Structures are given as structure tokens and as C-alpha cells.
Structure 1
Amino acid sequence: MQIIESQEKYDVCIVGSGAGGGMAAHELTKAGANVLMLEAGGWFDSEDFAMFTWPYESPRRGAGTERQPFGEFDACFGGWNIDGEPYTTTENTNFDWFRGRMLGGRTNHWGRISLRFGPDDFRVRSKDGLGHDWPISYQDIKPYYDRVDRLIGVFGTNEGIPNEPGGIYMDPPEPRCYEHLIKGACDDMGIPAIPSRLSIITEPHNGRAACHYCGQCNRSCSTHSNFSSPSVLLPPALETGNLEIINNAMVREVTYSDGKATGVSYVNKENGKEYKVKSRVVVLAASACESARLLLNSKSSDFPNGLANSSGIVGKYLMDSTGTSVAGIIPDLMDMPAHNEDGTGGAHLYIPWWKDNSDLDFARGYHVELWGGRGMPSYGFMGGIQNYNDLLQDRPRGGGGYGKQLKEDYRRYYGSVVGFSGRGESIAYEDNYCEIDPNVVDEWGIPVLRFNYEWGDHEYKQVKHMQETFRNIIDEMGGEPLGDMPSKEEGYGITNPGQIIHEVGTTRMGNDPDRSVLNKYCQAHDVDNLFVADGGSFVSQPHKNPTWTILALSMRTSDYIADQMNKGNL
């Protein structure tokens, strides 16, 4: 293949434009660095997307496609299966790898759940003897959490829960009707249900309008009221004049010579040609697994097993959140008068972890995300609940499919379903990993990843506790779960690893170069001008969604890069 080498040398080359890459671009361009960003997907502007498109305007009524598996109007293009970009698994592994292929990546459609890790989350081994402690503490990262809160904006409340630290919050919106009912049941059961912490602004902030409560955050936001990298981080970076973005750039490897990363090589997906760019510093922020793939594919005589991989740890300790869900039909929510409860594009309440593990048969914890109510009707929204007419005890089981009775069923059941989704912490196991498949390449000839992953006893027992808890809450509300409790043989309904899309840990940080890839500043032990600014650096994966910590760590890493460049050390 013809390789075209750029003559320009950038200060920093960033691979990826999501949370980690976007924050690195925002901070480094502000510091005066000349930055090149490479993104494997196309350009995206939330102002031009389907925020106000009605489901009936589509023949699919909003049903998902392979390119948009979460729905036709969901603002993330990519998915678990992408033409030309396969991945493989070892025997008995069911790992699902979701990739966003667009400017901003998965920040365009995520739930905006913006939780800080707590003090105990950085010292897990000291707490229960499992996994490893981080080389940093909550106090090390707290100033950056504060800066991220102020820069982006987040609503919530400070509840004083020891390992659920609060932040700098805007006022949260009021709970919806069904959320009030959930909270009432939880209060009676001694389970906390508190305002959500979402990066959706409820007041004007940094030139962005307050949320107008259309409930369509997964479609991105034309008013930039919620957080995504293209809405919040990249425009200010571009305004400095110090950022260049190249889209449809599928990075092949990080180039290396004489102990230093020299830049990256990428394939232009539109013309099929390969290009090499030079930079003083390389920042990988392509997502935990993609960044590991790039390092493993970047081989040389110094690093025959992959760049910065003298430890053999790249790709290992892969983690994803555990997950399971239960939905229930609540008679008290049937036959409700018509009312609008769109609110933000996410729950206004959530349940933080509330238990003492000394009384349980599993380690770590989980939080609970609530859903249901009278959201935008679209494909499949009735969800089979017509089979629960006997809860009303006024007509036989079974629902109509046409005409008057169908309309009556819609009016009766619309908004009567509530749901609970657990998101739990898994343990970091060295045997959960991604590696290069020696026999498979993608459309551009780049070797692909092969995954090996199994849940352990802690994860299965944790999910069993989720299922039991959710069903008890539904019972306390006077409802009935939609479906039976999954059996032990069914894994208690645990999701496949990768399905929650919280994968982290493949380039973990640590003080020991023999057992970690990065130091506490996310700088490669082996190559001092190479950094990783995505979830790959995580040593553990607390039950909290990882995005807020990716942003804080990327900001911290960017400060360090700017300081070291100014001192002439990079």
C-alpha cells in the first residue's frame, strides 16, 4: 500500500474524539498546543439530527437498525456489528463490543449519568482483598471532578453518602409520577432513592441553553443542553485555531523509533490510502479496547508484543459493568389522565448502593437506574403487557389487536410499566482480556481483537441480588413483574460482558511497571511521550458509570502533558 507521509509535525496527536479525546483536545489547545485529532467515523453536528422527529414519520416507527441498534433516532452510529470491522471471541466467551463511529463517539447517545467514584473505589483491595488499589486516591482526582462539573454542568444533590461523593450541582428536576411511586416504596423498604446526577444543564451555562425537557437526550441535543463531546468540548477547542480534525481515519498503529512514539499511521476509509503523521506526543483515547488493539498492533524490535507492553499487561484486566433488568406493571398507574412527563432524557431519581457487603455473599455493589412512565411511544412500546389484564380483575386475560379495544388498551396501559436496571461492579481478573486474533483482519487489513471473558461467582451472586431486590420493589408497589425470576442456570439474567458498554481496564495504571502499563498520570511506563486518556487506565470498575472519571482523568493527564511540554521533558 502506498504510504503518504505528512511533513508537518504536531505537538500532540489524539486518537479518538469521545470523552477522553474531546477533553484532551479542549485542555491542550487551550494550553497552546498544536493538536491533530483522528476520528474513525464521520462528522456529526447535533443541531442537524433527529431531535424533534416523530416516530410516525418513519416507516419503522423508530425501530433500531444494525447501524443504530438503540433506535432509528438514536444519535450514535456504530453498534456491536459493523460491516468490515469484525472481532472474535474464544470458546465459551460471549463478549459484545459496541463501537461508535462518528465525531464524539458514544458521548452522543449515552445516558449522561455522571457519578464520581468514591474514596473506597480507589482502594478496593484494601477493603476486600480482591483486585488491586489504584495508584491515586479520591483526593488526587477531586479537583478535576470539580473542574469538570463547572465546565460541563451537572444536576443533582449532595446527600452526604460516604462513598457516593457529591459535586457542584445545578438544581435537579422534580420526579415524575412513577418515580414518586418508586420512591415511596423504596422509603418503606429502607432503600435510598435520590435525585439523579446527570450532565444535563437545568440553567443556562457557558453559552448553552437550559434543558427544555423534551426527553430525547439519546438523540443528542440541538440546543447543546446535555453533554456530548461535539457539543461541549470540541467547539471551544476548534475556536482556538489549534485543533485540526481528520474524520474517517482508521488508525493502524502508533509509530515508534529510538524509545519514542513518533506519531501514528492511519488508513483513510474514503480513498483507502495510508497516511503517516508525526507528533511530539501521542494520546490514545479510542476507547479501552480499541486503544489496547492499537498498542498490540504497534510492534517493533523493542516491543515485539506490542508498544508499551514490556509488562505483558496490555489487553488484560478487561472489565465491564454487570447488569440485569426487571420491568413490572403497576395497576395504580393504569388509566391515568393524559399528562406530559417527558422531563430530561433519563430518570430524575436513581438508587445508589446502600448495603453493607459484610452481610452479603458477594463483593462490591451496584446502583439502580429507573425507567418507565409516559415516554415517547415508538416501536414495541407496549411490550406484551396486554397479557396482564387480570390485574384489573374486570375482564379476561388477553388484549385486543384491533379497533376500539386496542385503543382502550393503549389508554389503559400507557405509562403503567416501571423498570429497574442494575449496574454493578465486576472484579478485575487478569484472565479477562482482549488480544490480537492471528488469523482475522478488518476491511483495511488491520488485525482485529479476540476477546476472552467470563463472569465470576461474585458477579452472578450480585445480579441475583439485583433481581430479587427489583421484584421486591415492584411487589411493594402493588405490581407484578413482567416475566419470571431467571434461574441459576440462566445466570440470573446477567447481561453478556460488553453489553453495558462500560468496558475499561486494558491499559491499567500502577506504580509497578511490571504489573501495569501506565503511571498515575496515564503515561506509558515504557514510552514517556505516549499517553492513554480513555477508560483503559482504570484499575477497577466501580458501579458508577465511567464517563465522568474518564473526563476527570483526561483533564488531569492533559495538565501533566502541558506542564511537561513547557518544561521541555516531552
Structure 2
Amino acid sequence: MTRKFAFNDPDVVVIIGSGAGGATLAHELARKGVDKIVMLEAGRHFTQADFENDEWAMFNKLSWLDKRISAGGWHHTKTYPNLPAWIVKAVGGSTVHWSGVALRFQEHDFHTRTTYGAVAGANVLDWPITLQELQPYYELAEKKMGVAGSRASGLPPMPESNQTKVVAAGARKIGYRRIIRPVASNSEPYDGRPGCMQIGFCMQGCKIGAKWSTLYTEVPRAQETGRVELRPESMALQIRHDKAGKVDGVLYADRKGRQVLQKARLVCVAGNSIESPRLLLNSASPMFPDGLANSSGQVGRNYMNHSTAAALAIHRKPVYMNRGFDIGAVIADEVPPDTRRGFNGGYYLEGLALGLPYAAAFMKPGGWGRDVTSALEMYDHMTAIWVCGEDMAREQNAITLHPAEKDQYGLPVPIVSKTYHGNDEAIAAHGLGQFRKLSEAVGATRVIDMPAYPASHNMGTNRMSERARDGVVNKWGRAHDIANLYISDGSQFTSSSAANPTLTIVALAIRQAEHIAAELKRGTL
């Protein structure tokens, strides 16, 4: 049942974004009886029939390719100057193309300032919540998403691919023992969705719907309640507020380019760590000259996207890493913090299978030659790894607005500035070294380190904090400055952890929905 809500209805809850945070929040609020919800999504509404088992075709179809500028000291300024992050512009957001890795944060991740102390050149801060507070919501998230191997879902682990077996064997040979495979894809039929068929095109949109995505779970289920209206191709331009400083509407451009104002009782922003702060900054007014919720000056600051590196190993015999689920073995032995390694925090080694087109593109961006072609000739003998480590929050790593250049909506183009902290570089180097060791331990003849490719793990920029001066939102994701404005995506993260962020985004959205529904019932929103 689809309802439509009036533009001038002041009782509407407006959610901006339909990814892991926004769509989960919409569904959970609707289940709790919140009656009028409008979900704005900048991208198109694709269906599984639109998915193709073709890497580049789906990259061009799904990706957020509106102009962005990479700045700062990271290599993206040369290798990917206009693609600082590979995210999706479509209903479902990046849950359409995510790898499916579903990892929980560890206890120390919520206490980085307490654990590491003051880190020179960084802006580390403790979260205002603990792992203990979030544990029950992790359980709910794992059950909702169908995490294979999770006690909450009851699903068995995903079958082992050849890539899993080779990487795991090498890991064990060098002494690793914590080899896991927690992925939010059905290892057998679950929750009305089929079991994984091991097709291997997981990051191009799961054509059969085994992998969890809000596109075909939270979004349609929210709509079925009759309490949620989805408006695709609706780009949020500005959040408006009244004379008292409370938000009261969202101005957006619809699919025909018309500017429409949707009145609102409260606004929840879930547009990812680039678009969410960009929207707050673009919503500056005489009352909020530096942007909404920005009395601390922290909106857009502390951008994190994990300390990453990637590598390929070529083995003596065929591996066929392209066959099977895209994530193989995930090695967790290096996650616990141990400063004897020369850095704070830790990292996962994730066996992320690359398709041939991506292997060719990422191995040597913009380059070619015999070193590349000789490797590609051995593609069927390859394994691949992605180092996913904790990224230090830094104020200088930020989303800012270009002073002159505008996009197709007339908004300033976002500048994504990132310069690695020495801690980030140490994690990446250590991870690459360990992958080389484990690969050579099982006879790899060649290991190729690659520059980190654009990651979708965007975090920070509207971070949680106990004190208003240190961040943007409180422990519920509620803006310190504006009582009826919430952040509902990964931009509220205070630290990055080494864990992929999606599971935590979903857990926080479930928790936030519980809070918002209670506040609405009490009449305090």
C-alpha cells in the first residue's frame, strides 16, 4: 500500500537517503506506528531486473558520479581525482553494491581516546555509547540482515570458495587462527529471500536477492506498512528551519528538476559521510551562518574511510577467485590493539575477490605495460586481499564546499580532503607485509601491492560526542544544536574501528528508531 503525503503537511518525518541507515530507520519507525514518513532518495529506483553481471556496466549504472574533488595528501588526488569514494546513487544506497561483510565493533573502538591517549596529529575521541549498550541492537541487526554464521540468524556459514581455502591455508601457516566469514548473505533460504547461488557478481547488485540490501528488504517492507512514501530522484538541496531554530522542512529537486519544499516535523539525514555534511553546510542561514548543527565547527570534519591497501597474489595452480561469493576468508588476528607493532588500533585482512576488469583497473591506475599484462594472463591463478584498518580521525580530513564550482543542482561541489596519518600508513604497510608472508607460505610466485582503490567505507564528518563542543550529535544521533534534527548514517561514527561499517549503521538505526518513536509518543519531538 503506497500513500502520498502533502508537501505542506507539518507532521511528516523526512528521511534523506534510502541506504543502510535511512531505509532501516524508515522501516523501524513505521513498524513502531510512526504514521507519516517521506523518504527522499537522490538516485533512481532500480530493480533486480536492472542488474547485470558486468562490472563496468553496473559501475556506470549505479555509482554516484556527480562531480566531487579529491584533495589533500592521499594518492586519490592523482589516481581518482573525481572519485574519492565509490558509493551508489540509487534506492538502497550502497547496500546495493556492498561486499556483505558484517562485523561488530570491539570494546576498545568506543574508547579510542581512553585507549590511545592524545594522538599527535589526530582528533581521537571516545564515543558517548559503549559496546554493551549496542550489543542487543547488533543482535537485532544480524537477525534482520541474515548474517551467515551468526547465532542471531541461525544461518550456517557461507560455503568456502577456492579463494577462501587458499588464503585461510596461508594464514594458518604463519600462525593466524581467527579466520572468519561473517557476511549478510543467505547461505540458505532465509526471510523470504533465496540462498546464495555463488554467482560471484556480488558488488554489482545481487540479481537473486540473497545478499541483504535495503532495496528489496527495508524499502518495500516500509512501503507495505502504508506509512512510508518513497520519492526517488529527489535530491535534497537544503534543510529549512523556523524562527526558533527548529528544522521545519526540506527543499529538494524532483526528477523533473523542479524545486519542492516538503514540510517536516523532524528531519533525519542519512546521505553518507560526504552528502550529509554537505547538506548541513549548504543549509547555512543568518541564524546558522556556518551551517546547521555546526556550533562546534565539526560538521564535515574527521572524515574517515579506513586505513586501506590492496594486493594480488599469483599462485602456481589455478584458484578461480571469481567463482563464489565475493568475500572469502576474513582474518581477524590483527584486530586487537597492540602497540608493539608500531601503531594504534588494528586491521582485518579481507579476502575480497576482484573481477578481471577491476583487477586490471586497480592494479596500476592509468598505467599498462608488461608488468600488468603478465599478471592479468595469470588471473585465474590469483587471490586478492584488502587491508581494512582503523583510520585516525583528523580535523583536516574534511568535506568542504568548493568556493565557485557548482553541480547540476546549483550546489557547490564537495571537496573531499584526506591526508593519511602516520598510523594509517603503518597499518597498511603491516597488512601488506602479512599478506605477502601468508601468500608465499602457500607457494605464491608473485605478490603485487596495489594503491588503495576508492572505498565505500565513509565515516565521521558528523560525529557523536558527549559534549557539544567536540562533535555534531549526541548518543542518539540527535544534533546537539537542533532538537528535531538527526544524523542516521555512518557520518555519526566517532571512530572508524577496523570493522566494515554497515552492520553498525543498521544497529544504530534500529536503536535510533526506538528512541525517536518514544520521543514522538511523549510529544517531545
Partner of 1:348, secondary structure, is strand
Counterpart check, 1:46 vs 2:48: yes
> What letter matches 1:501 in structure 2?
S
Aligned to 1:501: 456
Q: In the alignment, which of 331, 335, 355 is matched to residue 351 of structure 1? A: 331
Partner of 2:394, secondary structure, is coil
Q: 1:438 to 1:203 in 2, by over 3 A?
A: same
Q: In the alignment, which of 123, 142, 152 is matched to residue 145 of structure 2? A: 152
Partner of 1:156, secondary structure, is coil
Larger radius of gyration: 1
- Post-superposition offset of 1:371: 4.2
- Post-superposition offset of 1:145: 0.8
Partner of 1:142, secondary structure, is helix
| Cα distance in 1 between the residues matched to 2:518 and 2:60 | 36
Q: In the alignment, which of 96, 101, 118 is matched to residue 113 of structure 1? A: 101
Partner of 1:302, secondary structure, is coil
Counterpart check, 1:467 vs 2:436: no
| Cα distance in 2 between the residues matched to 1:236 and 1:209 | 17
- Post-superposition offset of 1:356: 5.2
Q: 1:271 to 1:370 in 2, by over 3 A?
A: same
Aligned to 1:329: 314
| Cα distance in 2 between the residues matched to 1:376 and 1:543 | 24
The answer on whether the counterparts of 2:222 and 2:228 sit within 8 Å (CA) in structure 1 is yes
Counterpart check, 1:170 vs 2:155: yes
Aligned to 1:253: 238
- Post-superposition offset of 1:414: 5.8
For residues 251-309 of structure 1, give each alpha carbon's deviation from its aligned partner in whole angstroms, at most 9, with x where no partner exists. Answer: 111010122110100112x3221110011110000111211011111122221110111
Aligned to 1:162: none
Aligned to 1:285: 270
- Post-superposition offset of 1:415: 2.9
Q: 1:212 to 1:319 in 2, by over 3 A?
A: same
Give % identity.
Answer: 29
Counterpart check, 1:554 vs 2:519: no
| Cα distance in 2 between the residues matched to 1:369 and 1:547 | 15
Q: Which runs of structure 2 are paired with 1:74-85 in the superposition (5 Å)?
A: 74=59, 77-79=62-64, 82=65, 85=66
- Post-superposition offset of 1:192: 2.8
| Cα distance in 1 between the residues matched to 2:321 and 2:277 | 45
Q: In the alignment, which of 89, 99, 111 is matched to residue 101 of structure 1? A: 89
Aligned to 1:394: none
Q: 1:154 to 1:473 in 2, by over 3 A?
A: same
The answer on whether the counterparts of 1:463 and 1:494 sit within 8 Å (CA) in structure 2 is no
| Cα distance in 1 between the residues matched to 2:423 and 2:358 | 36
The answer on whether the counterparts of 1:172 and 1:348 sit within 8 Å (CA) in structure 2 is no
For residues 83-141 of structure 1, give each alpha carbon's deviation from its aligned partner in whole angstroms, at most 9, with x where no partner exists. Answer: xx323355656371334211111111110111111111111121111411100000111
Q: 1:90 to 1:50 in 2, by over 3 A?
A: closer
Partner of 1:319, secondary structure, is coil
Q: 1:186 to 1:92 in 2, by over 3 A?
A: closer
Counterpart check, 1:136 vs 2:136: no
Aligned to 2:9: 8
Size of the aligned set, in residue pairs, is 500
- Structure 2: which 5+ residue stretches go unaligned? 1-5
Q: 1:353 to 1:439 in 2, by over 3 A?
A: farther
Q: In the alignment, which of 347, 350, 366 is matched to residue 347 of structure 2? A: 366
Aligned to 1:21: 22
| Cα distance in 1 between the residues matched to 2:59 and 2:8 | 39
Q: Which runs of structure 2 are paired with 1:168-567 in the superposition (5 Å)?
A: 168-192=153-177, 194-257=179-242, 258-268=244-254, 270-331=255-316, 333-334=317-318, 342-344=323-325, 346-354=326-334, 357-371=338-352, 413=378, 415-483=380-448, 495=452, 499-567=454-522
Aligned to 1:127: 115
> What letter matches 1:426 in structure 2?
D
- Post-superposition offset of 1:567: 0.4
Partner of 1:28, secondary structure, is helix
The answer on whether the counterparts of 2:167 and 2:329 sit within 8 Å (CA) in structure 1 is no
The answer on whether the counterparts of 1:76 and 1:106 sit within 8 Å (CA) in structure 2 is no
- Structure 1: which 5+ residue stretches go unaligned? 52-61, 63-69, 159-166, 389-396, 400-408, 486-492
TM-score (norm 2): 0.88
Q: 1:8 to 1:533 in 2, by over 3 A?
A: same
| Cα distance in 1 between the residues matched to 2:345 and 2:359 | 35
| Cα distance in 2 between the residues matched to 1:237 and 1:174 | 32
For residues 484-505 of structure 1, give each alpha carbon's deviation from its aligned partner in whole angstroms, at most 9, with x where no partner exists. Answer: x6xxxxxxx6537xx2121111
Aligned to 1:164: none
Moved over 4 A (4+): 89-93, 375-388
Q: 1:310 to 1:370 in 2, by over 3 A?
A: same
Q: 1:465 to 1:376 in 2, by over 3 A?
A: closer
| Cα distance in 1 between the residues matched to 2:87 and 2:358 | 24
| Cα distance in 2 between the residues matched to 1:155 and 1:361 | 34
For residues 38-82 of structure 1, give each alpha carbon's deviation from its aligned partner in whole angstroms, at most 9, with x where no partner exists. Answer: 11111111244225xxxxxxxxxx4xxxxxxx5224596124xx3
| Cα distance in 2 between the residues matched to 1:380 and 1:122 | 35
| Cα distance in 2 between the residues matched to 1:197 and 1:91 | 34
Aligned alpha-carbon RMSD (Å): 2.8
Partner of 1:504, secondary structure, is coil
Bigger shift: 190-199 or 172-181?
172-181
